[in-house]
């Protein structure tokens, strides 16, 4: 035994240690320290006492011991006309109603309005992950799902923001959100994204996440159309530390509406835990308090499901199920839900994919409250579950499940022009307003860049100066529209004007509103009315075709065209001459090689990319090296490797034959064996090398002389060869089978190698 | 305007009646007028009547707190941006040292802007802040 085999642990643990998963932390359930999804040490028992239409006790706390949050919920959330009936129902019964297709959504939202936070939490905690997902699909307020994207970059570069905002719009995001690395850059970010988001189509809502007061100011200048970062916390300590109260946040809620700006609140599991004020209460109960407050404040919706706390919540047992449960609470309360899936909760791509799946399947008002449309390092919020890197993964998940995640593919050929347009539009605004003059190098670098590491652009200091100039000059959306139009960006000016006109109607202030095809769609005019199969949102045929489009799809023509490219070069390497029906010989020193119908006739390369001429040459060299001769026949009755091989063996004087398909799959067979009981099979054509074919030939020759060679093993590295090749395999094999002639006898083929090429 | 859910969206069903809070007509919110400097930010301020209408639509959909928010917002349309920000700042923890400033604001909203709901809201905050010690200075 060598030192290499000395170990005091099973080495699989080393493998596991090296997986990305092991970068994640996992914490123990600890109810007395707030680390618990469902059962905090101080979680109250649900209860409600009402006297003279006033709440006198709620969730085991009497009114004289209410904190500010209890008071707010009791006054603004609890509907005393419903409370008695709702609180008297058993939690099990209500939980079953949530997953019952025969109970309409409205009946359940009505009951929720009479329930206390502890009662609401008690009900959803009874649902399994599947039940939560199903209930979410039934309870989400708007009929059609949608998605929101982050547009930020590590340099706060306005040129890149404009270009990336335009791309986000093209990808189908109905809302885009920006934020800054340096808070004073907020005005520059707002202007840049506002202009970029106007390229391509009208009606994409835009927000600039910044300090509460400044965010509202930016909104008042008309640059933004919604706000989301009105944060709410489930304990008084966290709320005060967040520098607000339920009353100050309710004031902001009204302020946004008064300026025609859509808003939703933000809350989510583990915020209180992160802030050190958890009161030994569970994630779910504290979030139930947050959501009751938000409804009471009159917010139309929420961004919840952990949000910044999602990574911490996900370290706790059941934490990811809890995130689903709190999203369900939001929609059950009849709030629009931008369902988290933003702050990346894990380094494991498997955990990330698993986490998004329930939301993709159920649909959500906004599946991500920040899908990273940019690269991870450019995300100023922190990397999202999905980012620019993984965008196509998400598109494929939509395609796999035929589930509408709100996004669509973009045409590679149109992206540069789109980005250029956005950058040019912003340049026009900067120039006309005397804000800055980007050089052509700066613009070009941004247009082609995947991320800010590749750009030569404004310095962070420049951006700060641009930003304060926008604020100091009092530039408004009207100035921007005017300049865009004057400088020839008429569509963009019209798109921005469209949103301004819509602001006068207040239509997108209603629950779950978004804008598509210049129409407002919300829970008022397009409510989710799911009541079982055949009802609710169904992906239309048109949308289905959009979902199915993905870059680089294969079809038969593509395969044939791809192979035809090699026809000419093959013709220079080899000639095949048919010599008529093959007559079996009794020559013991031969190995017969049976090739398939399309081999060298319509197909010219193996899946590994080897020329078929080279492959035949390798087989022949291997056979000859062991003192045997190769004879080639072409089968027409079958293209199956086993039958090719067995046919060759039966017709071979030595009783040993090789069968090989055009895609490179090969077998060594022996006369008298059952078809699928061969001597050696080379089934992994994509990783079979020319050396393998040579050894295959040699082994066949060794069997032919009656010896037992060491079998050739084509080793793999665990590649998912099926994923990489099977679609091509099926198309190629269909070309072979289409050429079959059932009763045609195998033909003898004379092979001539036309050049002494290196093999 | 009719006041049921069917009037929604107003932008499609009542576009001809939509005006800004200063009476500026939606029809006049055009590129041409913007190019000729005939539109100001005041002309894109949503009208209290429109917010009231949205409140009725929300109420018809049984979203009563949302409706109440729109009613408060309707009153708020006449408040200048600066005053909205000033009151927001005052409502944040520890900014006001006692209830008198909030009460004074409430009076001002009631008398100068006819904003009874907002005034009541501030008075309620003053009562709660007093009870829970929110007026204590934090920095």
Pairing of strands A148-150, A175-178: parallel
What pLDDT, in 10s, does the model give residues A199-216? 999 999 999 999 888 998
Would you call A593 helix, strand, or coil by DSSP?
strand
Is it the case that residue B2 has pLDDT exceeding 60? no
Task: Reply yes or no on whether A30 is catalytic.
Answer: no
Is it the case that residue A646 has pLDDT exceeding 80? yes
Instruction: Provide the pLDDT for residue B5.
Output: 79
User: Among residues A369, A384, A652, A694, which one is catalytic?
Assistant: A369
Task: Reply yes or no on whether A398 is catalytic.
Answer: no
**B137: pLDDT confidence band, cut at 50, 70 and 90?**
low
How big is the CA angle at A362 (ends A360 and A365), to the nearest 5 degrees? 80
Task: Reply yes or no on whether A563 is catalytic.
Answer: no
User: Among residues A177, A212, A272, A287, which one is catalytic?
Assistant: A177
Alpha-carbon distance B100 to nearest alpha carbon in chain A (angstroms): 17
- Cβ–Cβ contact A80 with B under 8 A: no
Distance from C-alpha of A459 to C-alpha of A666, rounded to nearest angstrom: 60
Q: Which residues of A610-632 are buried (b: 16+ CB within 10 A; e: fewer)?
A: bbbbbbbbbbbbbbeebebbbbb
A139 within 8 A of A110, measured Cβ to Cβ: no
Is it the case that residue A678 has pLDDT exceeding 70? yes
Q: A-chain residues within 8 Å CB-CB of B58?
A: 510-511, 524
User: Among residues A143, A228, A507, A570, which one is catalytic?
Assistant: A228
Q: Which residue of A has its CA nearest to B56?
A: A510
A78 within 8 A of A116, measured Cβ to Cβ: yes
Q: Which residues of A299-325 are buried (b: 16+ CB within 10 A; e: fewer)?
A: bbbbbbbbbbbbbbbbbbebbbbbbbb
- In chain A, pLDDT over 70 holds for what percent of residues? 99
Is it the case that residue A458 has pLDDT exceeding 70? yes
From residue A321, alpha-carbon distances to A65, A223, A494 in Å are 32, 37, 44
Is it the case that residue A261 has pLDDT exceeding 70? yes
A734 within 8 A of A560, measured Cβ to Cβ: no
Pairing of strands A226-231, A205-208: unpaired
Q: Residue A492's closest CA among A425, A434, A433, A416? A: A425
Instruction: Provide the pLDDT for residue B136.
Output: 77
A685 within 8 A of A612, measured Cβ to Cβ: no
Distance from C-alpha of A388 to C-alpha of A116, rounded to nearest angstrom: 41
Average of per-residue pLDDT across A400-420: 97
Distance from C-alpha of B76 to C-alpha of A251, rounded to nearest angstrom: 10
Task: Reply yes or no on whether A717 is catalytic.
Answer: no
A698 within 8 A of A708, measured Cβ to Cβ: no
Q: Do B65 and A476 touch (CB under 8 A)?
A: no
Pick the CATH number of B79-139 from 3.40.50.2300, 1.25.40.10, 1.10.1510.20, 3.40.50.720: 1.10.1510.20
Q: B-chain residues within 8 Å CB-CB of A76?
A: 65
Alpha-carbon distance A239 to nearest alpha carbon in chain B (angstroms): 9
Instruction: Provide the pLDDT for residue B138.
Output: 64
- Among A79, A334, A510, select the one facing B57 at the smallest CB separation: A510
B57 within 8 A of A510, measured Cβ to Cβ: yes
- How do the domains of chain A map onto residue ranges? 31-138, 142-530, 557-753
As to burial, measured by CB atoms within 10 angstroms (0-12 exposed, 13-18 middle, 19+ buried), residue A335 is buried
Pick the CATH number of A31-138 from 1.10.220.70, 2.60.120.260, 3.40.1410.10, 1.10.150.120: 1.10.220.70
What pLDDT, in 10s, does the model give residues A375-391? 999 999 999 999 999 99
A269 within 8 A of A238, measured Cβ to Cβ: no
Q: Residue A295's closest CA among A240, A214, A232? A: A232
Instruction: Provide the pLDDT for residue B135.
Output: 87
- Among A251, A486, A509, select the one facing B88 at the smallest CB separation: A251
- In chain A, pLDDT over 90 holds for what percent of residues? 95
What pLDDT, in 10s, does the model give residues A101-145? 999 999 999 999 999 999 999 999 999 999 999 999 999 999 999
Mean pLDDT of chain A: 96
Distance from C-alpha of A269 to C-alpha of A288, rounded to nearest angstrom: 10
Would you call A605 helix, strand, or coil by DSSP?
strand
What pLDDT, in 10s, does the model give residues A262-316? 999 999 999 999 999 999 999 999 999 999 999 999 999 999 998 999 999 999 9
What pLDDT, in 10s, does the model give residues A730-739? 999 999 999 9
Pick the CATH number of A142-530 from 3.90.320.10, 3.40.50.300, 3.40.50.10490, 3.20.20.350: 3.20.20.350
Instruction: Provide the pLDDT for residue B90.
Output: 95
**Radius of gyration, alpha carbons of chain A:** 33
Instruction: Provide the pLDDT for residue A403.
Output: 98
DSSP state string for B48-95:
HHHHHHHHHHHHHTT-HHHHHHHHHHHHHTTS-HHHHHHHHHHHSTTT
Task: Reply yes or no on whether A228 is catalytic.
Answer: yes
Q: A-chain residues within 8 Å CB-CB of B18?
A: 504-505
**A561: pLDDT confidence band, cut at 50, 70 and 90?**
confident
Is the domain A557-753 a CATH 3.40.50.10150 member?
Answer: yes
Q: Residue A352's closest CA among A381, A394, A313, A402? A: A394
**Radius of gyration, alpha carbons of chain B:** 18
Alpha-carbon distance A112 to nearest alpha carbon in chain B (angstroms): 12
Instruction: Provide the pLDDT for residue A3.
Output: 79
Task: Reply yes or no on whether A148 is catalytic.
Answer: yes
Sign for the pseudo-dihedral over CA of B118, B124, B128, B129? positive
Is it the case that residue A567 has pLDDT exceeding 50? yes
From residue A551, alpha-carbon distances to A315, A330, B64 in Å are 36, 36, 47
Instruction: Provide the pLDDT for residue A562.
Output: 87
Instruction: Provide the pLDDT for residue A759.
Output: 45
Average of per-residue pLDDT across A692-709: 97
Distance from C-alpha of A643 to C-alpha of A634, rounded to nearest angstrom: 12
- How do the domains of chain B map onto residue ranges? 1-77, 79-139
- Show Cβ contacts of residue B95 under 8 Å, excluding neighbours closer than 6 positions: B89
Q: Do A298 and B46 touch (CB under 8 A)?
A: no
Q: Do A110 and B129 touch (CB under 8 A)?
A: no
What pLDDT, in 10s, does the model give residues A32-43? 999 999 999 999
Sign for the pseudo-dihedral over CA of A48, A51, A55, A57? negative
From residue A371, alpha-carbon distances to A153, A168, A368, A728 in Å are 14, 10, 5, 32
Alpha-carbon distance A476 to nearest alpha carbon in chain B (angstroms): 8
Alpha-carbon distance B14 to nearest alpha carbon in chain A (angstroms): 9
Average of per-residue pLDDT across A392-417: 97
Q: A-chain residues within 8 Å CB-CB of B15?
A: 505
A559 within 8 A of A426, measured Cβ to Cβ: no
Q: Residue A594's closest CA among A676, A500, A669? A: A669
């Amino acid at each position: 035994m060598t030192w290499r085999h000395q170990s005091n642990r099973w080495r699989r643990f080393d493998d596991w240690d090296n997986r990305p998963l092991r970068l994640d932390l996992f914490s123990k359930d600890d109810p007395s320290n707030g680390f618990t999804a469902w059962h905090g040490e101080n979680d109250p028992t649900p209860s409600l006492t009402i006297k003279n239409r006033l709440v006198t006790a709620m969730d085991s706390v009497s009114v004289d011991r209410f904190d500010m949050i209890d008071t707010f919920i009791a006054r603004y959330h609890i509907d005393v006309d419903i409370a008695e009936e709702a609180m008297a129902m058993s939690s099990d019964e209500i939980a079953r109603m949530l997953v019952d297709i025969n109970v309409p959504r409205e009946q359940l939202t009505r009951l929720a309005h009479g329930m206390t936070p502890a009662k609401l939490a008690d009900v959803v905690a009874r649902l399994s992950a599947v039940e939560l997902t199903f209930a979410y699909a039934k309870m989400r307020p708007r009929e059609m799902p949608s998605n929101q994207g982050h547009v930020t970059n590590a340099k706060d570069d306005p040129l890149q923001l404009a270009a990336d905002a335009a791309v986000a719009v093209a990808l189908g995001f109905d809302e885009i959100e920006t934020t800054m690395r340096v808070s004073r850059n907020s005005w520059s970010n707002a202007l840049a994204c506002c202009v970029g988001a106007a390229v391509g189509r009208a009606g994409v809502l835009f927000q600039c996440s910044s300090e509460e007061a400044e965010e509202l100011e930016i909104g008042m200048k008309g640059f933004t159309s919604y706000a989301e970062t009105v944060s709410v916390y489930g304990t008084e300590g966290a709320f005060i530390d967040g520098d607000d109260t339920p009353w100050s946040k309710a004031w902001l809620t009204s302020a946004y509406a008064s300026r025609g700006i859509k808003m939703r609140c933000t809350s989510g599991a583990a915020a209180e835990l992160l802030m050190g004020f958890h009161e030994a209460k569970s994630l779910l109960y504290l979030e139930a308090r947050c959501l009751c407050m938000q409804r009471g404040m009159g917010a139309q919706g929420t961004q919840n499901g952990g949000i910044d706390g999602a990574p911490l919540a996900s370290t706790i047992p059941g934490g990811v199920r809890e995130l689903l449960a709190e999203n369900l609470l939001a929609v059950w309360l009849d709030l629009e839900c931008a369902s988290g899936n933003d702050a990346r909760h894990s380094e494991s791509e498997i955990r990330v994919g698993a986490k998004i799946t329930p939301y993709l399947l159920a649909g959500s008002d906004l599946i991500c409250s920040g899908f990273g449309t940019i690269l991870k390092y450019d995300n100023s919020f922190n990397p999202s579950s999905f980012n620019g890197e993984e965008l196509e993964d998400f598109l494929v998940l939509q395609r796999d499940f035929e589930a509408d995640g709100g996004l669509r593919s973009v045409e590679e050929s149109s992206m540069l022009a789109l980005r250029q347009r956005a950058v040019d539009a912003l340049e026009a605004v900067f120039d006309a307003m005397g804000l800055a003059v980007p050089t052509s190098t700066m613009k070009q670098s941004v247009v082609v860049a995947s991320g800010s590491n590749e750009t030569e652009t404004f310095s962070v200091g420049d951006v700060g100066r641009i930003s304060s100039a926008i604020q100091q000059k009092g530039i408004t959306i009207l100035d921007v529209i005017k300049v865009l139009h004057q400088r020839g960006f008429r569509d963009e000016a019209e798109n921005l004007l469209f949103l301004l006109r819509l602001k006068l109607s207040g239509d997108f202030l209603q629950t779950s509103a978004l804008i598509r095809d210049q129409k407002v769609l919300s829970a008022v005019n397009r409510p989710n009315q799911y009541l079982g199969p055949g009802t609710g949102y169904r992906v239309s045929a048109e949308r289905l075709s959009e979902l199915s489009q993905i870059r680089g799809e294969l079809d038969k023509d593509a395969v044939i065209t791809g192979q035809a490219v090699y026809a000419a070069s093959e013709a220079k390497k080899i000639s095949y001459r048919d010599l008529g029906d093959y007559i079996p010989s009794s020559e013991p020193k031969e190995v017969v090689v049976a090739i398939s119908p399309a081999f060298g006739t319509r197909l010219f390369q193996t899946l590994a990319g080897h020329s078929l001429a080279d492959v035949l040459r390798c087989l022949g060299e291997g056979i000859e090296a062991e003192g045997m001769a190769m004879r080639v026949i072409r089968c027409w009755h079958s293209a199956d490797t086993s039958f090719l091989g067995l046919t060759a063996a039966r017709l071979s004087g030595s009783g040993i034959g090789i069968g090989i398909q055009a895609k490179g799959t090969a077998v060594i067979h022996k006369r008298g064996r059952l078809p699928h009981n061969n001597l050696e099979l080379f089934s992994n054509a994509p990783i079979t090398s020319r050396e393998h074919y040579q050894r295959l030939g040699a082994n066949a020759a060794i069997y032919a002389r009656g010896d037992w060679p060491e079998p050739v093993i084509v080793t793999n590295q665990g590649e998912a060869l099926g994923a990489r090749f099977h679609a091509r395999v099926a198309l190629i094999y269909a070309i072979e089978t289409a050429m079959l002639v059932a009763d045609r006898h195998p033909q003898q083929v004379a092979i001539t190698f036309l050049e002494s090429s290196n093999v | 305007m009719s006041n049921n859910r069917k009037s929604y969206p107003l932008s499609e069903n009542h576009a001809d009646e939509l005006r800004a809070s200063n009476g500026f007509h939606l029809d006049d919110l055009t590129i041409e007028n913007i190019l000729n400097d005939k539109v100001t930010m005041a002309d894109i301020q949503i009208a209290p009547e429109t917010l009231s209408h949205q409140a009725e639509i929300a109420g018809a959909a049984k979203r009563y707190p949302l409706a109440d928010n729109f009613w408060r917002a309707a009153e708020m349309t006449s408040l200048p941006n600066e005053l909205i920000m000033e009151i927001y700042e005052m409502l944040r923890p520890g900014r006001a040292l006692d209830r008198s400033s909030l009460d004074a604001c409430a009076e001002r909203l009631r008398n100068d802007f006819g904003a009874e709901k907002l005034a009541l809201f501030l008075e309620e905050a003053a009562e709660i802040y007093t009870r829970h010690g929110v007026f204590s200075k934090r920095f």
